[in-house]
A and B are shown apart, each in its own frame.
Chain A
Amino acid sequence: GNSVTQMEGPVTLSEEAFLTINCTYTATGYPSLFWYVQYPGEGLQLLLKATKADDKGSNKGFEATYRKETTSFHLEKGSVQVSDSAVYFCARHGSSNTGKLIFGQGTTLQVKP
């Protein structure tokens, strides 16, 4: 099938802790992969992306590497801040010409001071 699976939340961390949010996907071929972030009360913003295998997307201290062997795109950050508290969505392009993104269910991150 075509799906994206994220680790369930909520994830609660202390400031400066290391963050990993797991994401795996199923697809035929090698779709582009994305992480979007949704801050409270706002729409989704693109956080980072990778368009082919072994690409590493990075932004604002977050990183994710496109691993075709494990069909994964895990999000990591070395030292989280309170301002990183948000909902994080992993997504991949749909395989047809629909302009569709297929999203995971979202993972809520709460960072405490």
Chain B
Amino acid sequence: EAQVTQNPRYLITVTGKKLTVTCSQNMNHEYMSWYRQDPGLGLRQIYYSMNVEVTDKGDVPEGYKVSRKEKRNFPLILESPSPNQTSLYFCASSLSNWNEQFFGPGTRLTVL
């Protein structure tokens, strides 16, 4: 089954404790993105990747890092999480810049 998977689905952590949210897709897609969803703001792009070893900032990259060492995986790293990073995070992938995006199930992160 074609899908985007994320782990964990739920995470509660404390300020400053490094964490990684994994994302994997099995569709051989070139593009992958991370979004955060906040009430009243819709989804905003954090980082994106056009291919292996090619990543760039989206609209709200502060406090986040990403890597793309393999085509299928695109982890999101929070080196020192803060409470304002409490949000619902979605990973997405697409065949190209102009194709539809497929979304993962989301990761609800709470930073205390």
Contact between A99 and B42 (Cβ–Cβ < 8 Å)? no
Question: Closest chain A residue to B57 by CB distance?
Answer: A98
Chain A, residues 29-53, CB within 8 Å of chain B (1/0): the string is 0001010100000111110010000
A100/B106 in contact, CB under 8 A? no
Given contacts A103-B43, A105-B40, contact A43 B103 (CB under 8 A): yes
Complex: A32 Cα to B97 Cα, angstroms: 11
Q: Does A70 belong to the interface (CB within 8 Å)?
A: no
Instruction: Judge whether B90 and A99 touch: CB under 8 Å.
Output: no
Instruction: Collect the chain A residues with CB atoms within 8 Å of residue B43's CB.
Output: 44, 89, 101, 103
A 61-105 to B, binary, CB cutoff 8 A, 1 in contact else 0: 000000000000000000000000000010001100111110111
Contact of B105 with A42 in the complex, beta carbons under 8 Å? yes
Contact of A45 among B40, B59, B98, B103 (CB under 8 A): B103
Give the number of A-B contacts (CB < 8 Å).
Answer: 59
Which residues from A are CB-within-8-Å of B101?
46, 99, 101
Residues in A with CB closer than 8 Å to B4 are 43
A45 to B101, CA, bound (A): 9
CA gap between A78 and B50 in the complex, in Å: 39
> B56 interface residue, CB < 8 Å from A?
yes
B75, CB-defined interface residue at 8 Å:
no
Q: Is the CB of B90 within 8 A of A100?
A: no
Q: CB within 8 A of B48: which of A4, A43, A99, A103?
A: A99
Q: Which 5 A-B pairs have the closest CB atoms?
A: A103-B42, A99-B31, A43-B103, A44-B103, A43-B105
